[in-house]
């Protein structure tokens, strides 16, 4: 029977278990990725203190006056760096170009903190995937903390990709040649407590799927949270478990697996009107994306390919551009 709720899975065998334990874990991950495209993981090894510091320093950035935040404003709509304010994005447009309304959040975003050599990072095919990060002057420690978190998420993503390979019946390190110079993004979204009622149909983040291989999310248990659309067409709440991360499959991984795994629609809904005052919410989102020149083509033996081959970099550029206002 297909999973209709998001499972909670302990992934500690990925780090400490033997081969049989890792394979058993990979089977559970495979089922979640086939059925609902989401899972909640514990036993990930990321220090709680790092998560706490990330939340605290990010909250201080979003508390700054708008003029200060705009000092690191995104320089162009095709550059995934810097501050993006309210009313600048509509995630629902990645699926429906005619979707109405802007998302009720602001964000700050960075890319790789340890870029590869210039001959790769500045090659014509690299586009803007290694554009320099825009670091705010305040809080002064933000760069250090965000960089440490980015590296920790990169390590966790690599471990998850090993599990994914096992779950797909591939050698455990199959994906490593495609993610050694990954173009992942770290984006922290701030969902302010609403001061006025939203426009009709406007929510905190419109229904969308993510674009890359996988997403690692740490968020807060506040009114107005994350929902996923299951195989029965029902919107179900994703459980917020203390100390755990939410993982979901992106469009690129679904394409890589010939839709064996599902990149599921999800959204962030508005809080109930009577709980609006205490509903400020912050999400730490790591979008793991393979190397820009990684070729994405059908991995599933015996199945005719549903998609033409593409590269990670071009796929991501097109998807991000589709969501931007203006």
DSSP codes, 17-42: --HHHHHHHHHHHHHHHHHTSEEEEE
Q: How confident is the model at residue 317 (pLDDT cuts 50, 70, 90)?
A: confident
What pLDDT shows up at residue 239?
A: 86
User: Do residues 195 and 270 lie in contact, with contact meaning Cβ atoms separated by under 8 Å?
Assistant: no
Q: Which residue has the tokens 């939410």?
A: 246
In a domain, 255, yes or no: yes
* Pairing verdict, β 82-84 and 38-42: unpaired
pLDDT of 143 over the 70 cut:
yes
Give me the long-range contacts of 51-57 (CB less than 8 A, separation at least 24): 51/149, 51/218, 51/284, 53/145, 54/145, 54/146, 54/149, 54/188, 54/218, 54/284, 55/218, 55/220, 55/282, 55/284, 57/139, 57/141, 57/142, 57/145, 57/146
Q: How confident is the model at residue 273 (pLDDT cuts 50, 70, 90)?
A: confident
pLDDT of 2 over the 90 cut:
no
Rg (CA), the chain: 19
- With CA atoms as reference, report the closest residue to 325 among 73, 86, 107: 86
* Pairing verdict, β 38-42 and 8-10: parallel
Mean pLDDT of 203-231: 85
Cα-Cα end-to-end distance for the chain: 44
Bridge partner residues of 110 (DSSP): 186
What pLDDT shows up at residue 95?
A: 56
Kindly report the CATH number assigned to the domain that includes residue 315: 2.60.120.330
In a domain, 153, yes or no: yes
Q: How far apart are CA 210 and CA 205, in angstroms?
A: 12
Bridge partner residues of 287 (DSSP): 185, 215
What pLDDT shows up at residue 142?
A: 98
Find the range with the poorest average confidence among 4-18, 172-186, 221-235, 248-262: 221-235
3-state secondary structure of 91: helix
User: 240: phi > 0 → left, psi -120 to 50 → alpha, else beta; which?
Assistant: beta
In a domain, 3, yes or no: no
Better-predicted residue by pLDDT, 199 or 258: 258
Q: How confident is the model at residue 3 (pLDDT cuts 50, 70, 90)?
A: low
| Average pLDDT of the chain to the nearest whole number | 89
pLDDT of 325 over the 60 cut:
no
What pLDDT shows up at residue 298?
A: 95
In a domain, 58, yes or no: yes
User: Do residues 289 and 303 lie in contact, with contact meaning Cβ atoms separated by under 8 Å?
Assistant: no
The token duo for 238 is: 């994703």
Q: Name the phi and psi angles at 34, rounded to 5.
A: -75, -40
Q: Which domain holds residue 171?
A: 8-322
3-state secondary structure of 176: helix
Find the range with the poorest average confidence among 179-188, 200-209, 286-295: 200-209
Better-predicted residue by pLDDT, 213 or 193: 213
Q: How far apart are CA 56 and CA 184, in angstroms?
A: 22
In a domain, 1, yes or no: no
Mean pLDDT of 265-281: 80
Domain count, the chain: 1
pLDDT of 323 over the 60 cut:
no
Query: Per the confidence metrics, is the pTM higher than 0.85?
Result: yes
Percent with pLDDT over 90 in the chain: 65
User: Do residues 13 and 23 lie in contact, with contact meaning Cβ atoms separated by under 8 Å?
Assistant: no
Find the range with the poorest average confidence among 194-198, 218-222, 311-315: 194-198
What pLDDT shows up at residue 77?
A: 82
In a domain, 87, yes or no: yes
In a domain, 2, yes or no: no
pLDDT tens, residue by residue, 22-70 = 999 999 999 999 998 999 999 999 999 999 999 999 999 999 999 999 9
The token duo for 230 is: 């299951």
What pLDDT shows up at residue 314?
A: 87
Mean pLDDT of 287-301: 95
Contacts of 138 (CB under 8 A, 6+ apart): 60, 61, 64, 68
In a domain, 174, yes or no: yes
Mean pLDDT of 200-219: 84
pLDDT tens, residue by residue, 233-258 = 888 888 889 999 999 999 999 999 99
Mean pLDDT of 269-283: 81
């Amino acid at each position: 029977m297909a999973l209709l709720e998001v499972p909670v899975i302990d992934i500690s065998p990925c780090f400490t278990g033997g081969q049989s334990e890792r394979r058993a874990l990979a089977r559970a991950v495979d089922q979640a990725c086939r059925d609902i495209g989401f899972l909640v993981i514990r036993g990930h090894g990321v220090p709680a203190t790092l998560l706490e510091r990330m939340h605290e320093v990010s909250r201080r950035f979003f508390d700054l006056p708008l003029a200060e935040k705009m000092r690191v404003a995104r320089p162009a709509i095709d550059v995934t760096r810097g501050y993006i304010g309210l009313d600048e994005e509509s995630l629902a447009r990645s699926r429906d170009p005619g979707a109405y309304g802007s998302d009720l959040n602001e964000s700050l975003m960075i890319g790789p903190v340890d870029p590869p050599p210039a001959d790769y990072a500045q090659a014509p095919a690299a586009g803007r995937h290694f554009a320099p990060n825009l670091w705010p002057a305040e809080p002064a420690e933000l760069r250090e903390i965000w960089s440490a978190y980015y590296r920790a998420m990169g390590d966790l993503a690599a471990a998850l990709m090993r599990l994914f390979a096992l779950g797909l019946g591939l050698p455990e390190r199959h994906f490593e040649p495609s993610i050694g110079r990954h173009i992942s993004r770290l984006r922290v979204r701030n969902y302010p407590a609403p001061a006025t009622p939203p426009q009709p149909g406007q929510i905190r983040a419109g229904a969308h799927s993510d674009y890359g291989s996988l997403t690692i999310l740490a968020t807060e248990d506040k009114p107005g949270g994350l929902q996923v659309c299951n195989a029965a067409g029902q919107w179900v709440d994703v459980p917020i478990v203390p100390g755990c991360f939410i993982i979901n499959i992106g469009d690129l991984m679904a394409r890589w697996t010939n839709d064996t795994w599902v990149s599921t629609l999800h959204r962030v809904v508005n809080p109930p009107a009577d709980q609006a005052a205490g509903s400020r919410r912050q999400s730490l989102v790591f979008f793991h994306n393979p190397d820009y020149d990684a070729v994405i083509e059908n991995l599933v033996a015996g199945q005719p390919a549903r998609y033409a081959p593409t590269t990670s970099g071009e796929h991501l550029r097109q998807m991000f551009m589709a969501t931007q206002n203006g």
